[in-house]
Structure 1
Amino acid sequence: MKLKIIGGGLAGPEAALVAARMGCEVDLYEMRPVRNTPAHQTSDFGELVCSNSLKSESENTAPWLLKAEMRRANSPLLACADASAVPAGHALAVDRVEFSRLIAQAIEAEPRIRVHREEVTSLDPEDGLTILASGPLTSSALSQEISRLTGGEHLSFYDSISPIVESDSINQERVYMAARWDKGTADYINCPMNKEEYDAFYDALVSAEQVKEKEWEKLDYFEGCLPIEELARRGRDTLRFGCMKPVGLRDPRTGKTPWAVVQLRCENLRADSYNLVGFQNHLKYGEQARILRMIPGLENAKFSRYGQIHRNTYIDAPRILTETLQMKDYPGILFAGQLSGVEGYTESIATGMLAGIYAATIAQGGTAIPVPRRTGLGSLIHYITHYEGKRFDPANITFDLIEPLEEETRKKIRDKKERHKIQCDRALEAFDGWWQHASQPGNFAIR
């Protein structure tokens, strides 16, 4: 049975490569460059439009656990990320261009994948297996078709993109290299501020002119990626306890901790551009240039990209999806990526991996076995398929989602790090047991 996958971002190529390596014939559809989106700049597979980070590699953190499980399952895109990694302290960050190139190379090398550069505007539940991974910028025509099948409106929120500065325009005399608490290698450029500089920057930020909201828009931001000006309006010191927190970033030149710090993270292997970490915003470009050049070291900064806002679309997953990412009403249609209700690059790849495994298993005549709730992957899927609150919001992987320890164990072990280690150990053990069976549905195995 052929498998149709819609979307060439992160989840779609991951699902395509996984399913093809499990023996499926795959038709992969991507509408770019025939039809572009407001946020993408290329038609490349796996283009990262926001940050270039796939989050923490620190052992026994929730993002680490998710990636650990994915590596055990031979995630194709995570392998591409590892091969295109750039220095980022204790995080996994990638060279955007190289990451996309490696994904394209992997797809081209897979004889079972056929790529179609065209927009899909209609869905037929009777037309074989389909994985919808068209992402948060799903076209309006396909969005309407999904709404028709799901019997309701999409939910949506607005996501933000951080600015990127050219490295040769950074005044190196006013900045220093360091990682917080000296954890990992000193890969971040740090722009220190004293109180006077911070106050001036803050006042300029909260009074800056934003891009005008269109009549049809309702700017409902994702709490985990709020524009910096929205955060600043919550109080003068909010940024100093958030993206500009100075703790653990002592200036080696003075031996003192600054009042506030702006961190810049490397964008590519050439180190010719840096991302302003946490500085996503919805300000007019002229205002961004004026205000961001108030940051010490960025007085003459040249920006290769300014911050911006884009609309994210996702489904009401708890109402629509089963634990195997299939539609309850139409089991032949699966969802993956941010469209399914997860937030984040790693999470999108993770759901693409699972959708690819489940769809390939079904296509080969097997029964898809849900990943256990105890695992990091299972905890993420459990959230999007079992949330019971009034409003379903997308989620990143956090320890709040992972199956908690028994009350007796929690009382016995007070140290949070030790509890997290136990949870991770249990998760990996559960994952290994599931993977032993899931990787061999029938008489084939993932290579």
Structure 2
Amino acid sequence: MKKIHVIGGGLAGPEAALQAASLGCDVILSEMRPIRSTEAHQTSDFAELVCSNSLKSESENTAPWLLKQEMRRANSFLLQAADASAVPAGHALAVDRIEFSRRVADLIAANPKIEVRREEVTALDETDPDTITILASGPLTSSPLAAELQRLTGAEQLAFYDSISPIVDASTIDMDKVYFAARWDKGTADYINCPFTKEEYEAFLDALTTAEIVEAKSWEALPTNGVATPAPQTMNYFEGCLPIEETARRGRDTLRFGPMKPAGLTNPKTGRWPYAAVQLRQENLRADSYNLVGFQNHLKFGEQARVLRLIPGLEHATFLRYGQIHRNTYIHAPSLLTETLQLRAHPSILIAGQLSGVEGYTESIASGLLAGRYAAALASGHQPTPAPRITANGSLTHYITHADQKKFQPANITFDLLLPLEEDLRKKIRDKKECHRIQCERALTAWDQWLDSGPKLQ
């Protein structure tokens, strides 16, 4: 049996390594931190969550729920760690970052089939007959490795810019000005809500849109031949994760229909919705810190302190981490990848995680789960069978490998990616929730059948 080399210790890499090892393969897991860090990571831990601590909705029959249900049925090791380190977050799955990383590290250390190497990989040998490679080096792939990928693919990489939300010390929140609530009373009231009057919102908006932003750095440019090019003049933001100042510039009410949406957040002190609201989500099990939901930004740290303290309840807040922007690099999957995540030109190399064109924590883990299973099949001399198109995992992979090549952008899991119901059934069932329930039911049935027909974890 061939050995499997996984490059990257973020989310996709550890999941891929654990999956492949549990299918009987010998795995080498390479991670360059702490020998070489990135501009966004703060630790050398496996599975460090750089942006938020949320793995999205756990509401039944939603697309994120379906993706996670499929992963749980496939024994996703990182979802096990996430479930075990969950913190209160209403109807979402959010985790204590440190506990989550610790549990992932323990799973890797306990598996005798996995050899961990703390090293920077700068070369890829596509001709090695004894090795299957899974490249899961993430959105901040180092310049030498990015140049190697360019050499192999013969195509220019693409890049967009992703963001990190601020974190506030819970003891510095003025609890007399805020209230606990879940939107529309779904789940438990785990979110702290900072309510705005119209006047407070307008003042906040004026300060936000005139605040000084951070200039783009040379490392944020796309590496070419191993060398970072000059800093970009404009940021190519991912539309699903815009910084708040960019959202605010698109209209005075844009934030009120986005991360500051007040709908469903009844203030118990007034019995009404506020004009706008900022939600704070618990960051860890100790509940001593909270992150500002959807408040990623690209402002200078001093400006962030000034602007964010205009939020009611945060006037004297201590920020444990400020928001940031970082480059996210991904390949042009529609032209380069097969449905089993193999490079078309070099099938012994698989691409997983955000580098493949999926967006989001859960999606990255799911990509690693599939890559680990596909690599295990290849290592044993078999051609892997793609996840069924009707499933959430299959639909996500189908999107990145079949998207319009001229308009390709990374994607989160949504029902738009799944196969729709037959037209006559859609006409018969008008209720969208019922349609989604049927889609989920069909997906899980097909997923179980696919799992039953494939190799079993040891």
State the TM-score, normalized to the length of structure 1.
Answer: 0.98
Aligned partner of 2:124 in structure 1 is 123
**In the alignment, does 2:249 pair up with 1:233?**
yes
Q: Distance in 1 between matches of 2:215 and 2:325?
A: 11
Among 309, 324, 335, the alignment partner of 1:319 is 335
Aligned partner of 1:424 in structure 2 is 440
Q: Is there any run of 5+ residues in structure 2 with no aligned partner, and where?
A: 218-229
Q: Distance in 2 between matches of 1:427 and 1:257?
A: 38
**In the alignment, does 2:457 pair up with 1:446?**
yes
Contact 2:296/2:323 (8 A) holds in 1: yes
Among the aligned pairs, what percent are the same residue? Answer: 71
Among 315, 340, 344, the alignment partner of 1:328 is 344
Offset at 1:367?
A: 2.5
Aligned partner of 2:357 in structure 1 is 341
Q: Distance in 2 between matches of 1:399 and 1:357?
A: 24
Q: Is there any run of 5+ residues in structure 1 with no aligned partner, and where?
A: none
Offset at 1:392?
A: 1.2
Q: Distance in 2 between matches of 1:410 and 1:58?
A: 22
Instruction: Supply the AA of the counterpart residue of 2:313.
Output: G
SS of the aligned residue for 1:177 comes to strand
Q: Distance in 1 between matches of 2:124 and 2:272?
A: 60
Instruction: Supply the AA of the counterpart residue of 1:43.
Output: S
**In the alignment, does 2:155 pair up with 1:152?**
yes
Among 388, 393, 399, the alignment partner of 1:383 is 399
Offset at 1:222?
A: 0.2
Instruction: Supply the AA of the counterpart residue of 1:27.
Output: I
Instruction: Supply the AA of the counterpart residue of 1:114.
Output: E
**In the alignment, does 2:213 pair up with 1:177?**
no
SS of the aligned residue for 2:416 comes to coil
Aligned partner of 2:46 in structure 1 is 45
**In the alignment, does 2:43 pair up with 1:79?**
no
SS of the aligned residue for 2:33 comes to coil
Q: Distance in 2 between matches of 1:433 and 1:358?
A: 16
Residue correspondence of structure 1 range 25-424 to structure 2 within 5 A: 25-127=26-128, 128-214=131-217, 215-217=230-232, 218-424=234-440
Instruction: Supply the AA of the counterpart residue of 2:256.
Output: R
Q: Distance in 1 between matches of 2:133 and 2:164?
A: 30
Offset at 1:256?
A: 1.2
Contact 2:334/2:405 (8 A) holds in 1: no
Offset at 1:213?
A: 2.8
Offset at 1:362?
A: 1.3
Offset at 1:99?
A: 0.2
Aligned partner of 2:450 in structure 1 is 434
SS of the aligned residue for 2:194 comes to strand
Instruction: Supply the AA of the counterpart residue of 2:112.
Output: P
String of CA shifts for 1:271-311, please: whole Å, max 9, x gaps.
01100001000001111000000001000000010001000
**In the alignment, does 2:34 pair up with 1:23?**
no
Aligned pairs, number? 442
Offset at 1:389?
A: 4.3
Instruction: Supply the AA of the counterpart residue of 1:112.
Output: K
Offset at 1:391?
A: 2.6
Instruction: Supply the AA of the counterpart residue of 1:180.
Output: R
Could you tell which deviates more after superposition, 204-213 or 37-46? Answer: 204-213
String of CA shifts for 1:171-228, please: whole Å, max 9, x gaps.
0110000100110000000000110100100111111111123452241000000000
String of CA shifts for 1:20-65, please: whole Å, max 9, x gaps.
0000000000000000000000000000000100000000000000
Q: Distance in 2 between matches of 1:124 and 1:112?
A: 22
Q: Distance in 1 between matches of 2:261 and 2:343?
A: 43
SS of the aligned residue for 2:417 comes to coil
Contact 2:335/2:405 (8 A) holds in 1: no
Q: Distance in 2 between matches of 1:310 and 1:57?
A: 28
Offset at 1:365?
A: 2.2
Q: Distance in 2 between matches of 1:352 and 1:55?
A: 18
Contact 2:165/2:323 (8 A) holds in 1: yes
Aligned partner of 1:9 in structure 2 is 10
String of CA shifts for 1:232-289, please: whole Å, max 9, x gaps.
0011000011100101000012111100010000000000110000100000111100
CA separation of 1:105 and 1:58: change in aligned 2, threshold 3 A: same
Q: Distance in 1 between matches of 2:421 and 2:184?
A: 29
Q: Distance in 1 between matches of 2:272 and 2:397?
A: 44
Contact 2:159/2:330 (8 A) holds in 1: yes
Q: Distance in 2 between matches of 1:388 and 1:195?
A: 42
Instruction: Supply the AA of the counterpart residue of 1:16.
Output: A
String of CA shifts for 1:336-392, please: whole Å, max 9, x gaps.
000000000000000000000010111122220100000000000000001124131
SS of the aligned residue for 1:4 comes to strand
Could you tell which deviates more after superposition, 55-64 or 119-128? Answer: 119-128
Q: Distance in 2 between matches of 1:309 and 1:203?
A: 21
Instruction: Supply the AA of the counterpart residue of 1:55.
Output: K
Q: CA RMSD in A?
A: 0.8
Offset at 1:123?
A: 0.4
State the TM-score, normalized to the length of structure 2.
Answer: 0.96
Contact 2:209/2:249 (8 A) holds in 1: yes
SS of the aligned residue for 1:212 comes to coil
String of CA shifts for 1:125-183, please: whole Å, max 9, x gaps.
12220000000000000000000000011100000110000000100110000100110
SS of the aligned residue for 1:408 comes to helix
Contact 2:340/2:374 (8 A) holds in 1: yes
Q: Distance in 2 between matches of 1:222 and 1:6?
A: 25
Q: Distance in 2 between matches of 1:324 and 1:390?
A: 22
